[in-house]
Amino acid sequence: MSDQQEEKIVFNTTQIQNILPHRYPFLLVDRVTELEPGKRVVGIKNVTINEPFFGGHFPGHPIMPGVLILEAMAQTGGMLVLNTNDDFKDKLVYFTGIDKVKFRKPVTPGDQLRFEMELLKARSTIFKMKGKAFVGSKLVCEAELTAAIMDR
């Protein structure tokens, strides 16, 4: 991989934990590679066979649960929302709604999910985002997410 193709890390896992309250086994964003506050964010989740959910979903045929793909998408969106305004330090993002969800392909161990979140609307403490999840160049999930900022 040439230097131009290497992904820039805007936030690593430790820095993400300074912003989001999630912890193992529920922190589902490994790094943020792009951030345009108030506009868009790109996050990465490396999916490994060591994920606790694979033991039961499904034995002998591991597939990442769709709700966890959506949760990882929401956490990535949380990084966008919490970096949109300095007043949002020491706040939490509550996932309040999902619309237009489509699961296109299964996500399996060894995949790397790339979440691209775009801010559609922002009103006071309510945010609506469009999210897409990719494995390589293949779209695996898309949704519109609504979130609210609350006091921590």
Would 6 be classed as within a structural domain?
no
In a domain, 118, yes or no: yes
> Within a domain: residue 85?
yes
Q: Each residue of 117-131: pLDDT tens digit?
A: 999 999 989 999 999
Tokens standing for 115?
């979440």
Tokens of 116: 């691209």
- pLDDT tens, residue by residue, 53-68: 999 999 999 999 999 9
Question: Phi, psi at residue 16, to the nearest 5°?
Answer: -60, -40
Residue 7 in domain? no
The residue-averaged pLDDT of 102-121 equals 98
The predicted structure's pLDDT at residue 117:
98
CATH at residue 22: 3.10.129.10
Q: Amino acid identity, residue 104?
A: R
- pLDDT at 152 > cutoff 90: no
Q: Which domain holds residue 53?
A: 13-151
Asked, for residue 103, whether it belongs to a domain, the answer is yes
3-state secondary structure of 14: helix
Question: Which residue is associated with the tokens 């290497």?
Answer: 6
Average pLDDT, the chain: 93
State the pLDDT at residue 67: 97
Q: Does residue 85 surpass a pLDDT of 90?
A: no
SS3 content of the chain, % helix, strand, coil (to 5): 20, 40, 40
> 3-state DSSP call for residue 98?
strand
Q: Which of 22, 40, 57, 130 is catalytic?
A: 57
Confidence of residue 2 (pLDDT cuts 50, 70, 90): very low
Does the pTM of the predicted model rise above 0.75?
yes
Q: Specify the number of domains making up the chain.
A: 1
Asked about 22 being catalytic, the answer comes back as no
Helix (H) or strand (E) holding 114: strand 112-123
User: What pLDDT score does 6 carry?
Assistant: 60
Asked if residue 57 is part of any domain, the answer here is yes
Q: How confident is the model at residue 50 (pLDDT cuts 50, 70, 90)?
A: very high
